[in-house]
C-alpha cells in the first residue's frame, strides 16, 4: 500500500488513489462496505442506478436533465471522463469543483486509513464512488443518478441501494470479469435490481438469467416491448407508451435511433418514482430537447463533418453503423479515425463497420492496454483485403491527417474507445487556444 500523503490538489489526489490498489479493476463490495459503515454513508435521497453494456451514459444524461428541469436538486455520477475527472461528479448539471473533490477524497482516505488489514486497498473507482456519495450527502440532493462502472452485482455503485434500477442492454464486453456469454453477463447486471423496487430492462431480448433473478427477488420488473414501448411517427415525433400513460414527444437531442430505447427506459424510471418525485410531461419534453452527452454520435464540426463516438464493442459498433447508414450521402467519402484497447473485440467492431468507411486511419493508444496500430491494420486487411488503411502512432496524428485530407463534403468519424475520443478532443481544444 502507498502511504505517501497526496498533494493538496486534485491532480495529486488522483495520482495517489490510482496507486492504492495493485489492480485497476478488482470486483467485490468487501472493500467499500467498511468505509460506508465508518462514515455512515446511508443516503436519504432517492437513487437510480443504471447498468448496461451500452446506453447507460445516455440514459443517465436524460434522467439528470429530466429531474433538473422538474426543479429537483440532482446529483449524477458517471465514468469514465474524457478531459477532466470533474466530469464524473455533477450537481444540477455542473461539474463539482476541484476543492470539493479534494475534500471528498480526504474524507474517504481518512476513513480508509483508520481501518486495519487488506481492506484498505481501495481501487480508483471505489474511492471515486465513495467520494461522490460523500459529496452528495454534504450538498443536499433530492435524487442521484449512479452509472455502474462494470457489470453490476460486484460494482462499487451496487453497495448503495437504489430506489429504481435500469439495465439498458446486455451484450458481450469485459468478458474477463463478467463471463463470456450473455447469460453470465445478464446475471451480473441484474445484480443491481432490488426486491419490490422498480427493475427496468431496455434489452428487447433479455437473458433468462436476468429474468430469473428479477423474478427470484420479486422485483417490480418492467421490460421494453412488453411493459413499456416506443413508437416512431415518421420524422415528426415519437410516442412513449406504457400501461399507465402515453406521451407524444420530440426526438431526443442525442442522435441515433437507439436513443429512443434509452429515453423510454429513463421515462419508465421517472414514472416509477412519480409518487415521491413528481415530474410533469413538460419537464420530460424540455429535457429531451436539451440533453447533451459528449462522444455519443456527436457532431462537433461541419464541412467536413466530424463525428465523435466512444463505440468500443460490437454492440455499440452496430449502432454506429446504423447511424452512419442513416446519414450516408452520395457525395463525399467517410474517413475512420480508429484506435482501440487490445483487450476489446477489435475484429467484432471492424466486422460491424466494414462497409461504412472509404479509408481507415488507424492509430495506437498511449495506454498499457492500447492496441498497436499495426494490429488494427492487420485485422482490417484480414477482413477487408482491398481496404485503404494508413497507420499513425497516436489518434491525434491520425485525426490531424484526416483533417488535411478531407474535403468539405466528407465525414471524419472518430471512434473505438473513450481514450480515442479524449485524445482527439484534447487536440481540438489545443487548436482552439492557438
Provide the pairing of β-strand 228-233 with 237-242. Answer: antiparallel
Q: What is the mean pLDDT of the chain?
A: 93
Write the DSSP string, 174-204.
Answer: -HHHH-SSHHHHHHHHHTT--TTSEEEE--S
- Residues in Cβ contact with 359 at an 8 Å cutoff, skipping those fewer than 6 apart: 333, 335, 336, 387, 388, 389, 390
Helix ranges (DSSP H) in 296-386: 314-326, 346-353, 373-383
Res 117: pLDDT:
61
- Under the banding of pLDDT at 50, 70 and 90, the label for residue 2 is very low
Q: Where are the domains of the chain?
A: 10-290, 298-427
Peptide bond connecting 416 to the previous residue in cis, omega within 30 degrees of 0:
no
Write the DSSP string, 118-140.
Answer: GGG---HHHHHHHHHHHHHHHH-
Copy the grid coordinates of residue 406.
478531407
Helix ranges (DSSP H) in 228-280: 259-272
- Under the banding of pLDDT at 50, 70 and 90, the label for residue 157 is very high
CA dist list (Å): 194 to 47, 147, 189 = 12, 16, 12
Rounded Cα distance between 398 and 406, Å, is 12
Copy the grid coordinates of residue 366.
498511449
- For residue 300, the SS3 value is strand
Average pLDDT over residues 17-35: 88
For 297-343, the pLDDT digits (tens) are 999 999 999 999 999 999 999 999 999 998 887 789 999 999 999 99
Tell me which residue of 123, 109, 118 sits closest to 35, measured CA to CA.
109
Task: Tell me if 200 sits within 8 A of 48, measured CB to CB.
Answer: no
Res 118: pLDDT:
53
Res 119: pLDDT:
53
The partner residues of 147 in beta bridges, in order of sequence, read 50
Rounded Cα distance between 182 and 186, Å, is 6
Res 1: pLDDT:
42
Checking 82-91 for CB contacts under 8 A at 24+ apart, the result is 82/294, 82/295, 82/418, 82/421, 82/422, 82/425, 83/422, 83/425, 83/426, 83/429, 85/10, 85/14, 85/128, 86/10, 88/128, 88/132, 89/128, 89/131, 89/132, 89/135, 90/64, 91/136, 91/139, 91/141
The partner residues of 301 in beta bridges, in order of sequence, read 306
Percentage of the residues of the chain whose pLDDT score is greater than 70: 97
Res 59: pLDDT:
97
Instruction: Tell me the pTM.
Output: 0.93
CATH class of 298-427: alpha beta
Rounded Cα distance between 96 and 373, Å, is 36
Average pLDDT over residues 216-238: 94
For 333-383, the pLDDT digits (tens) are 999 999 999 999 999 999 999 999 999 999 999 888 889 999 999 999 999
Average pLDDT over residues 407-424: 95
| Least-confidence region, from 26-35, 174-183, 195-204 | 174-183
Cβ atoms within 10 Å of 89's Cβ, excluding its own: 26
For 67-78, the pLDDT digits (tens) are 999 999 999 999
Torsion of CA 202, 206, 210, 216, to 10 degrees: 100
- Residues in Cβ contact with 407 at an 8 Å cutoff, skipping those fewer than 6 apart: 304, 332, 333
Provide the pairing of β-strand 89-91 with 74-77. Answer: antiparallel
Res 35: pLDDT:
95
Q: Which CATH superfamily is domain 10-290 in?
A: Mur-like, catalytic domain (3.40.1190.10)
Amino acid at each position: 500500500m502507498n502511504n505517501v500523503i497526496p498533494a493538496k490538489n486534485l491532480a495529486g489526489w488522483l495520482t495517489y488513489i490510482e496507486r492504492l490498489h495493485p489492480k485497476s479493476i478488482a470486483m467485490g463490495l468487501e472493500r467499500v462496505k467498511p468505509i460506508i459503515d465508518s462514515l455512515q454513508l446511508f443516503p436519504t435521497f432517492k437513487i437510480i442506478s443504471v447498468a448496461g453494456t451500452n446506453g447507460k451514459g445516455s440514459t443517465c444524461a436524460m434522467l439528470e436533465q429530466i429531474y433538473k428541469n422538474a426543479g429537483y436538486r440532482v446529483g449524477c455520477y458517471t465514468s469514465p471522463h474524457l478531459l477532466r475527472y470533474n466530469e464524473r461528479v455533477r450537481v444540477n448539471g455542473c461539474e463539482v469543483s476541484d476543492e470539493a473533490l479534494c475534500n471528498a477524497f480526504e474524507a474517504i482516505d481518512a476513513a480508509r486509513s483508520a481501518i486495519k488489514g487488506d481492506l484498505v486497498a481501495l481501487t480508483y473507482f471505489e474511492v471515486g464512488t465513495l467520494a461522490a456519495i460523500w459529496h452528495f450527502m454534504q450538498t443536499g440532493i433530492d435524487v442521484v443518478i449512479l452509472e455502474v462502472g462494470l457489470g453490476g452485482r460486484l460494482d462499487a455503485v451496487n453497495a448503495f441501494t437504489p430506489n429504481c434500477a435500469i439495465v439498458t442492454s446486455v451484450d458481450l464486453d469485459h468478458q474477463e470479469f463478467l463471463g463470456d456469454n450473455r447469460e453470465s453477463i445478464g446475471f451480473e447486471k441484474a445484480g443491481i435490481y432490488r426486491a419490490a423496487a422498480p427493475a427496468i430492462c431496455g434489452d428487447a431480448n433479455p437473458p433468462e438469467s436476468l429474468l430469473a433473478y428479477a423474478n427470484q427477488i420479486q422485483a417490480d420488473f418492467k421490460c421494453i416491448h412488453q411493459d413499456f414501448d416506443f413508437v416512431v411517427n415518421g420524422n415528426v415525433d415519437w410516442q412513449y407508451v406504457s400501461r399507465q400513460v402515453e406521451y407524444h414527444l420530440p426526438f431526443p437531442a442525442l442522435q441515433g435511433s437507439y436513443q429512443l430505447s434509452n429515453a423510454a427506459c429513463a421515462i419508465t424510471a421517472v414514472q416509477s418514482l412519480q409518487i415521491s418525485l413528481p415530474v410533469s410531461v413538460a419537464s420530460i419534453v424540455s429535457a429531451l430537447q436539451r440533453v447533451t452527452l459528449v462522444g455519443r454520435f456527436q457532431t462537433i464540426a461541419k464541412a467536413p463533418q466530424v463525428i465523435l463516438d466512444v463505440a468500443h464493442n460490437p454492440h455499440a459498433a452496430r449502432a454506429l453503423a446504423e447511424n452512419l447508414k442513416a446519414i450516408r450521402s452520395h457525395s463525399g467519402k467517410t474517413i475512420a479515425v480508429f484506435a482501440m484497447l487490445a483487450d476489446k473485440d477489435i475484429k467484432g467492431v471492424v466486422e460491424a463497420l466494414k462497409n461504412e468507411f472509404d479509408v481507415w486511419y488507424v492509430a495506437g493508444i498511449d495506454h498499457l492496454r492500447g492496441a498497436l496500430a499495426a494490429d488494427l491494420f492487420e485485422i482490417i486487411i484480414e477482413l477487408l483485403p482491398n481496404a485503404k488503411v494508413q497507420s499513425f502512432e497516436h489518434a491525434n496524428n491520425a485525426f490531424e491527417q484526416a483533417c488535411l485530407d478531407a474535403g468539405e463534403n466528407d465525414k471524419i468519424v472518430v471512434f473505438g474507445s473513450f481514450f480515442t475520443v479524449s485524445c482527439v478532443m484534447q487536440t481540438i481544444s489545443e487548436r482552439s487556444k492557438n
